[in-house]
Structures are given as structure tokens and as C-alpha cells.
Amino acid sequence: MLISIASGKGGTGKTTLALLLAVAHSQLTLIDCDVEEPNCHLFLQPKWQGPGQDITIMVPRIDSDRCNGCGSCSAVCLFSAVAISGKSALLFDELCHSCGGCLLACQHNAICEEQKIIGTLMTGAAAAQPGIHLVNGTLKVGTPSAVPLIRRMKQESSQLTGDILLDCPPGTSCSMVTAVKNSDFCILVTEPTPFGKHDLELAMNITHLLQIPTGVVINKSDAAGDENIEAFCTSRQIPVLAKIPHSLSFARQYAAGCIPADFQNIAATIWQQLKAERSARA
Ligand code: SF4
Ligand code: SF4
């Protein structure tokens, strides 16, 4: 079962929940797709299998001797990554999405492609929690899109058997959509604030569009704000799987790089619901 853990906004506790669920399960693969700032490895202390694999994409290169500035490449580029200056084309790597469109559009054989490293993929067994296998992606600083790296991480993990947890990037951008896509179930983590509710709605809209069964976990739960979130979830017919209360001791342990044992009962309850979901789908 592939379970993605996402949230409409950062800082709601996605990674906390992913780690709690991983420890409660104890035999699974955790894919850290929060590639701009992966941090599951800080808690799991994995023994990496090798130095890591460079992940590359193909980017266009323009041969100025052949280019006559006709503009066909610029016209076809939906990302404004090619501009025409005088009689030559200028490429802006930072905007390029590696679609290959300009290559097809150029009738003068003035564009070729070359590999560009966009990040690193590492795998390893968690020394701190035996039985947990970690797949970790790190996006190279300055790389505009995390999508190709996340896609590659999911491809690499597609042969794995057993349960897989996927810690998604925050927000509701293309990176999150790529990470969540094809999940068997998505857990949306939120906090009981107006911002939390607003961004939860955006994330729910995405899982709805992708037709992914969804449940919500309310983190930093408090009596006053929970009601709004719960009423909202009810209106969308999305179950609230669990609530994780505010806890200073939990926050202290987490900040010290430990996975607190405090809420393992909550994680176990969530797994029970996920197993029921799996049985219902079987
Ligand atoms: S399509 Fe080819 S020839 Fe025309 S501007 Fe682009 S690179 Fe130059
Ligand atoms: S590969 Fe695609 S995104 Fe990149 S410059 Fe060419 S057309 Fe634009």
C-alpha cells in the first residue's frame, strides 16, 4: 500500500507523522520526497548504500553558429525559457522544464541536449529504527523544479513490495501533485487555524481530482480550532483519522532529533484505519 502524507502548507507536521507511522509499523519503506529540505534521515540515521546516485535531466543547448534567430524555439516554449536576441536564441536554464519542445521545433539543427544534474538519490537502512528502509532525495540548490527528481524516486521505488510511506513536499504545487499521484491513500496533515483550513481545502481539492481516498490528521490539536476543521472535513465527507495534541515534551524531543514515543498509540490507531481501508479495497 502506498500512503502519501501531504499538507497544504509547510510546518503542519507531515514529517513528524511520517516518522511516527514508520516507527509504529516498523517494517516499511519511507520515501522522503520533501527534496528541497529532506530531514527524515536526521531522525532515522540511515546507513547509506553507497555515495548516492546523481539524477539528471536533459536540457537544450544552442549552437550559435547554426542558429539564425528564427524564433521557432521561443514560440513553442511554454515556460519562456528561450528568448530571441538579434539573430540568436538565448536559453535560460532556470526556467527550462526539459520538455524537448524547442528541439523538435528547430528546423536548423541548432539545438542539441546535454545532461544536467538536478539532485541526488540515496537509499539506506535506518540504523536508529531497524526494519525501516529510507529513500532520500536531495534537490540541487538552484534547481527550479523538483518534479523530475520526485518522479525518479517514485520510479526507483515502484518495484518495492510491502507498505510504502511517502513524505510529500509541502504546499499544493506540481511537486506535491507528482508525489501524491497514484497513492492508495493520502493523509493530509493540518493544524486547527484559519490558514491550516484554507490550505487543507486546496490539498483536498487535489486528492479529490486525483481520486485518491483521503483522511485528515489534525496536528497541534486544541479544542477551539478543531471544531472548524472537523466540521469542514464532515462537509467534504473526509474522515478525521486522528488528532495529535500540543505537547511541549514531544516538541522538545523532536527538536533534539528523537522520534518521540509519546503518540505511538495514535499512530497505531491510524494504521488500523489504513488496514481497514486496504481490506475494503481488496
Ligand atoms: S529554432 Fe533553432 S534556429 Fe530558430 S532561433 Fe531557435 S535555435 Fe535558433
Ligand atoms: S526544453 Fe522545453 S522548456 Fe526547455 S527551453 Fe525547450 S521548449 Fe522550453
Of 152, 160, 151, 158, whose CA–CA distance to 28 is shortest? Answer: 160
Rounded distance, CA 20 to CA 28, Å? 12
CB-based pocket (< 6 A), ligand 2:
60, 76-77, 79, 81-82, 96-102
**Ligand 1, atom 3: closest residue by C-alpha:** 67
Ligand 1 atom nearest to 82, measured from its CA: 6
Rounded distance, CA 18 to CA 163, Å? 13
Q: Which grid coordinates are listed for 265? A: 498509540
The predicted-structure confidence for 228-252, as pLDDT tens digits, reads as follows 899 999 999 999 999 999 888 888 9
Burial 142-152 (b: 16+ CB within 10 A, else e): ebebbbbbbbb
Q: What percentage of the chain reaches a pLDDT higher than 70? A: 100
Confidence (pLDDT) at 223: 65
**Ligand 2, atom 4: closest residue by C-alpha:** 96
Q: Which ligand is nearest to the CA of 63?
A: 1
Confidence (pLDDT) at 263: 87
CB-based pocket (< 6 A), ligand 1:
62, 67-73, 84, 89, 105-106, 108, 110-111
**Ligand 2, atom 8: closest residue by C-alpha:** 77
Backbone angles phi, psi at 195, to 5 degrees: -65, -45
CA dihedral angle for residue 53, residue 151, residue 139, residue 93, rounded to 10 degrees: 110
Query: Do 190 and 197 contact (CB within 8 A), yes or no?
Result: yes
For ligand 2, pick from 57, 95, 96, 112 the residue to mutate: most ligand atoms within 8 Å of CB: 96
Gap from CA of 145 to ligand 1 centroid (Å): 25
| pLDDT over 80 (residue 224) | no
Query: Do 215 and 242 contact (CB within 8 A), yes or no?
Result: no
Gap from CA of 57 to ligand 2 centroid (Å): 12
Cα three-residue angle 174-30-20, rounded to 5 degrees: 105
The predicted-structure confidence for 67-79, as pLDDT tens digits, reads as follows 999 999 999 999 9
Task: pLDDT band for 158, please (50, 70, 90 cuts).
Answer: confident
168: DSSP letter:
P
The predicted-structure confidence for 161-204, as pLDDT tens digits, reads as follows 889 999 999 999 999 999 999 999 999 999 999 999 999 999 99
**Ligand 2, atom 2: closest residue by C-alpha:** 99
Ligand 1 atom nearest to 89, measured from its CA: 5
Gap from CA of 113 to ligand 1 centroid (Å): 14
State which H helix or E strand residue 73 sits in: helix 72-76
Gap from CA of 99 to ligand 2 centroid (Å): 5
